[in-house]
Amino acid sequence: MDRRSFLAASAAAAGLSAMDQRGALAQAVLSRAPAPDAGANAQADGPLLVARPVVSGPAAESITILQPIAGPATGFVEFAIDDAPFERVDAGGHGLLPYEPHVLKFRLPGLPAGRNVRYRVTAHRVDWRPVRQFIHGEIVTAQPEVGPEKTFRTLDPSATETRFIVWNDTHENSETLKALAQQTAARRPDFLLWNGDQTNDVHYEADISGQVLSPAGVELASSWPLAYARGNHDLRGPAARNLTDFTGTPNDRYYYAFRSGPVAVLVMDTGEDKPDDHPVFGGLAAFVKYRERQTKWLAETVQAPWFAEAPFRVLFCHIPLWWIKDRRDIDYWEFSKVCRDAWTPLLAEAGVQLVISGHTHDHAWLPATEKQPLGQLIGGGPKPAHATIIEGLATRDKLTLTVQKLDGKVVHVVELNA
C-alpha cells in the first residue's frame, strides 16, 4: 500500500476527513508540541513564562539563558553589560526562529569576565493550525511572578577569591530542593555546581523543565551561573536524549572546564554505574568510547596555561573515583573504577588536588594517600536528613570546603593549601 492509500484508509477507519487526517499526521510528526485540541489554546489563559530563567555555562564565553515556557512559543533575550544599552539575541538558526513547547534556549555571545549582566526574556505564544498557518499570540516580556529583569555576574579568572556551592543527588525531593535553594540564595555564590542525579529518570520531555530548570518551583540559578554535571539517573529513560535542550553546558557537552578566580574546574561525566553490556540498558549504552573521548580531552585541557597556573585544580564528577571500600560482591559499580583508572594518572600529573562527587547518598571525606593521590569529597543523599550543601571558598592561598547538613550541622571541613 502506498503512502496516500495508507492515509486514506487510516482516515476512513478513524472517521476523519482527509484534511483532518493530514492535520493529525502533522501533529504526530510535531509530537513535541501539544495537539491542537489540548495544546496552546488550552493553555493560553495561564502564564507563558512558568519559572524564572536559568543562567548556565558557566564561563563568560559560554553563557546560555534557558527560559521554561508553557506551550508552543517563540522569543528572544536582551542583555546589557553594566549600564550599556540592551542587545538582542534570538534563538534558533538556519533562518528559523524557535518554535518550542517547553523551553527557549539562548546562547549569548562571549562576555567580558567579572562584569554584571542585566537580561530579560521576551516570548509569545505561537499556535499552529493545520496545515500551513501560524498564529502569533500576545507578546510577554515577563510576568510579575517571574520578574521583568534579572542580573548575574560573569566569572572572573583573575579574581583573588571565589565562592561556590555544590548540590548533588537531589532526586526531585521537593523539601531538600527548597532548603538548598534558600541556603544558596543566602550565600550568593559566584556559581552553583549541580553534581548529578537531578532526576530519578527522564521518561518524558514534557517533564524535564520541572526536573532540571525549576525543580520544586525553586529559583535555581537566575542570578549566578549554573554548572551542570550529569548523573547516572539523568541518563535513564527515552527522553534523556533530549536533555541537552534543557541544559546549557559549553558546546552541549557534559565534560568541560572553566576557571573562577583561583580555582580551575573540570566537570566530567562518569556515565552509568554499570558496564555497557548490562542487560538493563538493552544494548543502548556506549560509554566506553565516550570515556575515551573524555580522556583525550582531559589530556589536552590540563595543559592549557589558564588551568596549569591556577592555585587550585578541582574535578567535579557524579560517581566518585574512590569510596570507603571497594566492593566486589555486587554486580554494579559503587564507585567508578573505570574512570579512576583512565583519568587518575592525568589528574595527578596535572596537580589536581581534589575530586568532588555524589552518588553514594552518604557523605564522606577521603584524604589523599599514597595509593589515592587525590582527595575525594562526597556529598549526601536526597532525603532532607541525609542531604548536604557544600560551600567552597578559595583565596590565592587556601581553598576551604565546608560540608553541612540542611540543619546547619557541619560534618566535614576540608582545607587545601595552594
Do 281 and 371 sit in the same domain of this protein?
A: yes
pLDDT score at 19 = 38
Residues 23, 40 contacting (CB under 8 angstroms): no
* Rounded Cα gap, residues 55 and 107, in angstroms: 10
38 DSSP assignment: G
Q: Which of 152, 171, 200 is the last residue of a domain?
A: 152
- pTM for the predicted model, two decimal places: 0.87
Alpha helices in 109-226 (DSSP H): 174-187, 205-212
Do 211 and 267 sit in the same domain of this protein?
A: yes
Whole-number Cα distances in Å, 270 to 232, 297, 339, 341, 375? 8, 14, 7, 12, 17
Do 270 and 353 sit in the same domain of this protein?
A: yes
Q: Which uninterrupted H or E stretch holds 347? A: helix 337-349
Residue 105 has φ and ψ, to the nearest 5°, of -120, 120
Do 251 and 288 sit in the same domain of this protein?
A: yes
Residues 232, 336 contacting (CB under 8 angstroms): no
The CATH number covering residue 125 comes to 2.60.40
Q: How many domains does the chain have?
A: 2
The CATH number covering residue 357 comes to 3.60.21.10
Do 91 and 127 sit in the same domain of this protein?
A: yes
Do 113 and 167 sit in the same domain of this protein?
A: no
pLDDT score at 134 = 65
Residue 110 belongs to domain spanning = 54-152
> Block means of pLDDT (10 residues each) for the chain, length 418 residues?
41 41 39 40 70 96 96 94 96 88 96 97 86 65 69 98 98 98 98 98 97 96 97 96 96 97 98 92 94 98 98 98 69 77 97 97 96 97 98 98 98 97
Q: Residue 54 forms beta bridges with which residues?
A: 66
Q: Locate 396 and state its grid cell.
A: 590565592
